[in-house]
Structure 1
Amino acid sequence: MARSLKLTAVSLLLASVAFAAAPPPATVVKEVTGEAAIVDDNRDKAFADAKAAALREAVEQVAGVLVSSDTLTANSQLIHDRILTHSAGYVRTHEVLERKEEGGVAKVRVRAEVGTAQLDKDLQAVRALIGRLGNSRLLIVLQEQAITPDKVITSSSVLTQVLTEAFRNDGWRIIDPSFAAGKLEVAPGVSFITPNAKVIQELKVADYIVTGTVTFRHEKSSRDGDALSAHLKDLYLVSGTWELAVFATDSGTQIARVADAFDSGPESRGSNYPNISYERTSFEIARHRGKKILGDVRKAVIDHLSQAEQNGTQVVMKVHGLRDYNAVKTFKTVLTRALTGVSEVKQGHFAKEEIQFDLRYQGSTETLAETLGEKAFQKKLAEAFGGKAPPKASVTGVTSNTVELTLAP
């Protein structure tokens, strides 16, 4: 079966440096074996799946050589989603060397010739995503509550703690939720209400926000006191729901929604260990289900980053010093025509020499700020304003999704 491909940004960087000095061969030949279980006596499908598994293994081995042999598991799902699911596209030719069946399992051995050019290019793109993902700042703001068998409602922080630890171990920069105090609020005991997009955008301390509601219901045991020790596993049962959403602060838009219902069964807890307290049961449920939440959030962010790579990210540009509406129109023209990577420039309300532009930019706000401060942009700005006392642009503020510009004579 295919091994888990494990990658790190560091190992990818080292590998790229190495291959800069010694480019990989155009093709690499691998002999590998794939396996698949025979289900409902469907041998044709099993052998087809086994061959596909073998081709994935061949691509995976070549990819492992291209990037690093010393790896971690954190990015295996990203590689699988972006590359290994399309592994057939990297295989130039292949030959089936052996087909056999053992103990209800179909096995296929192939010799595959894997092209390295496109594979290496795609791996570099994944490396860029990993680099951007590793710098992402995450804010977790959940409204959690626990309801006792007597219907007493208390506050909880079980899922928040589990997710904070899981995302931190995954390489995220976790932001203290106190930064959202008074701005982002979720009402307890109700369905998730989507915050206003502008509220999300104003939380500049984070790149992404996970927010929503969580309810743990403590259920009364059906066992009597005489059977406590014998039936401990049936005590301290917990059920409940959570409804979470993931937002990108650059645009204030929701990029994912995660809703789930759970109980105290092994499917929810991931084990058959006895329940020793309501808190422990809740923790086991949160830890087990939290893995899926982490994966869902990570995928949503990766998709958001991928789209940003292709279409650009939304940036809010606040401009001070445009004296009249003609100056506003002229400056908008400069943004649209003079800046590489800028598109979809929309202007907002103009008053007291201040205006906000919403634009899409292929790059970071830091790069945009540097471009605005360069002589080339200043020259184009002067030309657009006719060269008569042209305004000089000074960048006076930068966040992950905003740039503030002040124009002065």
Structure 2
Amino acid sequence: MDTSAIVWVLISAALVWIMTPGLALFYGGLASTKYASNTVFLSVIILGLAPFVWMVLGYSLAFSGHGTFIGNFDHILLNGVSFSKTTMGLKIPDGAFMLFQGMFPIITAAIITGSVVGRVNLKAMLLFIPIWLVAVYAPLAHMVWGGGWLAQIGALDFAGGDVVHISSGVSGLMLAILVGKRHKPADEKDTPDSIVNVVIGAALLWIGWFGFNGGSALEANATAILAFANTNIAAAAAMVTWFIIDFSRTGKAKITGALSGGLVGLVVITPAAGLVAPASALLMGMIAAPAVYFLVDFLKRKFRYDDTLDAFGFHGIGGIIGGILTGIFADKADGGLLATGSLHQTLIQLVAIGVTIVFAAGMTFIIAKLVSLITPLRVEKAVEERGIDTALHGEYISIMNSPQFNNRFRAPGSGSGHFGKQ
């Protein structure tokens, strides 16, 4: 065992864990004041649900056996998982590998919730998420990273373009379609609850992504350094590109826009982080930003779906673009188009992306329909219109949004939000 590798992987695991509270703040800050607490809660509860599922069954199905599509039950309840030696030829014990990999399903499931916050039935989500982790995440992790079919055909996914981002984005979209659009007055605007929370959340996501991508090297080596550098380069390039486009179109220098661009860059580099040169990471960020910027609005207008916080737009579309660009920009050893002049790897990438989309969408549809037989997928219209934070949670991300604050400090009858006398 290599002590430096163990330390690096454990630190990286902690960084990946912190991404989910970061996503909670990012999503919660962007959400309407009517469901900001609901948005944060759905991510927070997954911090408990996903590790439970991973320990009991998920890790075994993802990383045991030699199945084409899924593992077996050898490591249920982490049975036989060594915390002192490796059976995988790595420089870290199997327990450290399990711990690091176990952080990924947490953030993956949390991403899905962004598509349906404010209107999804909590009971339905508490049933949906564990089943989805077993029936969708675990098989995809096995197919890509556990020696399954997509690994066997040579698909490249360094840190989760298929397994994390496309699967969660597509599943979020399917769930949003099944749950239905939000009920809201035509003149109600989606005003972010807290820009401060958006900034804090984005910062936690960005720093966590260094562990997400850099840790996927599974040791402290040159590949980890490359992945770490490429993560920052792609995010920076996408942030600047997004800002230039948005500012030129709207005339407003928006914090949320710049940070959204950075997030797109982080998504697009994920499958390629340790496989491409820094110059390619720069180009990937610059290509992804305008592609996602224009596609998100176009697809939502064209197909009229309600992806509340653009989980599909950022993670689904960004992941698809990242997977394709990985096949184009990967180094010569990995068969990248520009390095070899061959389309072979790019075609493999398209196959893996297609399989992920079809599998995630199909299984999400089936799981959601099964859950709907037990409990409705969405809350009652009256609860939604009143605000799910008030009806279900009774707590508020910002005290200024609470009824107690409004009743005490706002002038009676004031609809402008100005403070009145006590």
TM-score normalised over the length of structure 1: 0.22
Structure with the bigger RCO (C-alpha within 8 Å, sep 6+) is 2
1 or 2, which has the higher strand percentage?
1
TM-score normalised over the length of structure 2: 0.22
1 or 2, which has the higher helix percentage?
2
